[in-house]
Structure 1
Amino acid sequence: MADILALAVEKKMLRRILACLATFAFMSFLFPAVPSQAETNTRSGTDDCPLGYLCVWEHPNYQGRMYRFAGANASWAAWDINNKDSSWYNNGTEGMLACVWSGTNYQGSVKVIQHQTSSPSDSTHGDRGSSNSWAHFWC
Structure 2
Amino acid sequence: MSIAAYSDCPSGWFCVWEHANGQGRMIRFQTGSADLRGQNANDQISSVYNRTSRIWCTYTDINYGGTLWRVSAGWRGNVPSQLNDRISSLRAC
Higher share of residues assigned strand? 2
Of 98, 106, 109 in structure 1, the residue corresponding to residue 56 of structure 2 is: 98
**Residues of 2 paired with 1:87 and 1:114: CA distance?**
14
Gaps of 5+ in 1: 1-39
- 1:41: Cα distance to partner? 2.2
Gaps of 5+ in 2: none
Describe how 1:1-139 pairs up with structure 2 within 5 A: 40-44=1-5, 46-92=6-52, 94=53, 96-135=54-93
**Residues of 2 paired with 1:128 and 1:56: CA distance?**
13
Higher relative contact order (CA 8 A, sep 6+): 2
Higher share of residues assigned helix? 1
Per-residue CA distance 1:28-68 (angstroms, 9 max, x = gap) = xxxxxxxxxxxx22022x21101121110000111100111
The percentage of counterpart residues that share the same residue type is 33
Aligned length: 93
